[in-house]
Amino acid sequence: MIKKFFTFLLALFGIMPAVWADDGVWIEKLNGTKQGFLFSQQPQISYTADALVMTTTAATATFPLDELKRIYFDSDVVTGINAVAGGGSAQLLRATAVGAELSGFPAGTSVTVYALSGSKVAQLRVPSDGQLTVDLTAFPQGIYMIQAEKITLKIQKK
């Protein structure tokens, strides 16, 4: 059933009209957290045996299937790291020119940066305001995985 749903979503992305360029797709988890992806970033949904993988022109995020509540389309996708209007606890992890920005995570959340080889290259904690910038400028070129809770972002540093 899940495979049919994801196949439908993949087909739907292929026929989206250009007028939806400012709209996006939301991933909502069972714990109530949400993450949005703009259609202008050309999101592509794929999946592994136990995870949904959202790939955009900026980054890749992985979500365990057993934690997903729903996937839906909406025009209220957050384009920055601001809180979602109307309350809620949206956790955002997005790529930036220097690395990544996190918002909406609880204070003290562990954020780990891994090199492509799997070695841990940095360990950070989210401060009390819930926002953190992961600066990769001091690291050599390569592919890095940034993990906060169960959200993972893959970044290529050029």
Mean of per-residue pLDDT scores for the chain: 77
Q: In the chain, what are the domains?
A: 1-79 (2.30.30.100), 90-158 (2.60.40)
pTM of the complete model beyond 0.95: no
Q: Lowest mean pLDDT: which of 46-55, 86-95, 123-132, 140-149?
A: 86-95
Residues 53, 45: Cα–Cα separation, whole Å: 6
**CA within 13 Å, CB half, 121:** 18
Which one is predicted more confidently, 9 or 50?
Answer: 50
